[in-house]
Chains A and B, each alone.
Chain A
Amino acid sequence: MAGEQMDDAALLARAQRGDAAALAQVLQQNYLFVKKYLVRVTLDRMQAEDLTQETMIRAIQRIAQYSGRAKFSTWLIAIATNLYTDALRRRQRERRLLAGTLPDPDPPGAGPGAGEDWREMLERLRGLPRDVALPVVLRHYYGYAYEEIAEWMGIPVGTVKSRTHNGVRALQRGSGG
């Protein structure tokens, strides 16, 4: 395990020095992690694919800025969250301009489930505003701190806490939890 960590650190160091092969390897290792994260927060497979691509581009452009303080996967999550938050704000502006109903995003395919409860939970999650669902997923699925979430979303910590609280209350209604 220690040997693997050194290899990852050496790979990142080479990537930051401009080694394209090393950077490609690092991105390949984290690609599915980022994509699954984006599917979970967007609940829109197509949007998740687009955002994954944008996240990879931005990571390549800013690899020299990766400080190593947090895990590389966390750094990628921060980039992805930033991009998704920007997309949400643009979509909200567009909705106000269009003042009409946009079609619902394509729901992700339902994989094998243990029962019906998780499907109901998924519907409740889809019913949440996206900027409420995002901090709920980051906090209660991925376990990130409120301060991290606030920094990535570009909003105050208090707003993160209130959105998370409201989102959790909405999800708990009818779940028996």
Chain B
Amino acid sequence: MKKRAGAEPWEQQLRQALDAAADLGGEGPPSLADLQLFVVQVQREQRRQAARDLALFLPCAGALLAGALYAFYREPGLFLALQGAAAAALVVGAGVWALRRGQAA
């Protein structure tokens, strides 16, 4: 947090207003025990979600790989041309993304 010295009257009033609004009346943070339990619950759910995602990803990736190998076996020229087009689209997309990000900076 980098509070600047608000010299102008309206900035001082803004500070007063926001400090008054944020007066929590002596309220404290949750207890360490409660927070630790909360952290453990969130981490556990995150691991479960990752396992579910992996269980979905692996069969899909396997099916795509099998399809690609079959296509390469049957039509190698067409398969390589499509791969080249996909790679070119990826490069163009990355370039556009980098350009837009650079413009926003």
Contact = CB atoms under 8 A, between A and B. Distances in A.
Interface of A: 18, 20-21, 23-25, 27-28, 31-33, 35-37, 39-40, 43, 56-57, 60-61, 71, 73-74, 77, 108-114, 117-122, 125, 136-137, 140-144, 147, 150, 156-157, 168, 171-172, 175-177
Interface residues of B, number: 39
Given A25-B32, A31-B29, A176 B9 contact: yes
A61 B42 contact: yes
Interface of B: 1-4, 6, 8-25, 27-30, 32, 35-36, 38-40, 42-43, 46, 103-105
B21 A43 contact: yes
Query: Could you tell me the dominant secondary structure of chain B's interface residues?
Result: helix
Contact of B3 (A77, A118, A141): A141
Contacts, number: 130
Given A110-B20, A157-B104, A121 B32 contact: no
Contacts of B21: 39-40, 43, 108, 110-111, 122
